[in-house]
Structure 1
């Protein structure tokens, strides 16, 4: 959700921001300890991450959500400015940032 807000803040700076869900239930320690069967591999997650970082065709892509290597749509709450604002307020409070 923050990605959407950062796009506006960073407009004109040359910095791009995107959100990525690299893979589903990779065989990480957390997944294995939960007793869940992995669906994706760590290599799939790494490939999706590296693509978003290194692919020249995505160099100017900003404010997007990627599910693996595909551009996708985030949860509908991400489109709600009030919900994004509330999440940011909670996050700022959690890290001790004073909101003015």
Structure 2
């Protein structure tokens, strides 16, 4: 598997469970030790919903997709860029994985 990069989806529900967070970071540390390349694409739906609730912004979904008006989009960016992305990078780094968060 030389020069192979695997894309891994890390769901927001898994991020709410500390034991799963640790297992995820441990598994990726093992992959990194074997020189496997990977990109983590994270979710954050539950975290977004929680912030919207705290901000009294009503979540609206159409056909299973969140409707993102301007106030909702600002909350989404705060959660995904300012909270979730940083937490994922910090967790991986704590397990010896070189990681960088990218947003935009």
Q: TM-score range, shorter-chain basis?
A: under 0.3
Q: Which has the higher strand share?
A: 2
Provide the TM-score with structure 2 as the length reference.
0.27
Q: Which has the higher helix share?
A: 2
